[in-house]
Amino acid sequence: MKRTIAHLADGRELIYFDRRDDADHDVADPRDLPARPLASELRHDPLMDEWVAVARHRQTRTHLPSAQECPLCPGHPGSEIPSPYEVAVFENRFPSFSFNTGAYEQVGGLSEVRPGTGRCEVVCFTSDHDASFSSLGDEQAALVVEAWADRTAELSALPGVEQVFCFENRGAEIGITLPHPHGQIYAYPYVTPRTRQMLETAARHRGGNLFADVLAAERKGPRVVAANEHWTAFVPAAARYPFEVHLYPHRRVPDIPALSAEERAAFAPLYIDVLRRLDGLFGVVMPYVAAWHQAPVTYRRDLAYLHLQLFTIRRAADKLKYLAGSESAMGAFVNDVLPEEAARMLREVVTD
């Protein structure tokens, strides 16, 4: 893999990832861009003991442009990526977290305020505007995995970063603002609530590693969707979403950089197979969130187990699962689809 670092007109970093050693990206960004926005502010919720990022500048971010104006398609005047590319990663122009900090005033009450330091990056899976992750070839998908590994290692080393989160939002139903196939990476200045809860639960577990024990139990059961030598994809017994699949490596590692070359290569075809099964359920392009759960930089790394959680809010060809009162207000999920039935339906999809 060749890695080429460039910079955009406003100073943001752009990184090209190529399979070819002779790839050339010596193309400057010709735009006249405004100054980069100040970092968000973090406000502490004293009732939930959680941090909330307030990023006012994101109200003006690009929203569903035409294909001709897509900022992730290379080479045109409004593009964020001036050179043709295989995989490209750049600092988000409208970040939820950044190191461009300013003065922050306390807001009174019991809420502490501090700068939303960190970093947000956009990961472009391909220059093909009409593609999707599920349409990538195995080698292209493996290059994305290499980019995730590279960025996880680099971002984890930044001062103040506590957790690195690689993810993809797909589909208008999920709320995407750019349809071009891409994901994002957030480098948080704190450990996120869901990760903290999972690791605290793992600390209370009696026996072996909680995540390893879950995987061992699921590998023997009726909810397996697909598997290979290094990975198993299964619907969790207590799935929150109508169709939810977790992908675990068989060897416990804390994060993507810790995967072996063989494990990285084996992930791509299995993940693509699962995505194609998801799309094949109802014959429609499925909206989904794909979320890598990696160990925090320092907090309870000894308990963590790298895995990917994939879920969709579509529960039928013409029905969505909305997170309404119980889920949004109380955090109490109600699933409309039996997990065993969801696994059976996914297994029965023909992907060839």
The residues that are catalytic are 182
d(CA 280, CA 286): 9
* Partners of 43 in beta bridges: 52, 113
β-strands 163-170, 113-115: how paired?
Answer: unpaired
* 307 annotated as a binding-site residue: no
**What does R_g of the chain's alpha carbons equal in angstroms?**
20
Residue 191 carries which side chain, given as an amino acid letter?
A: V
Q: Regarding beta strands 2-7 and 243-249, do their DSSP bridges make them parallel or antiparallel, or are they unpaired?
A: unpaired
Look at residues 42, 59, 56, 180 and name the one whose alpha carbon lies nearest to residue 116: 42
**Residue 70 marked ligand-binding:** yes
The rounded distance, in Å, linking the Cα atoms of 71 and 78 is 6
Q: At residue 221, what is the residue type?
A: G
Cβ atoms of 117 and 99 within 8 Å: the answer is yes
314 and 173 Cβ atoms separated by less than 8 Å: yes
124 assigned to a ligand binding site: no
Q: Measured between alpha carbons, how far is residue 327 from residues 79, 199, 248 in Å?
A: 38, 22, 26
CB 203, CB 300: distance < 8 Å: yes
Q: Tell me the binding residues for Zn(2+).
A: 70, 73, 129, 180
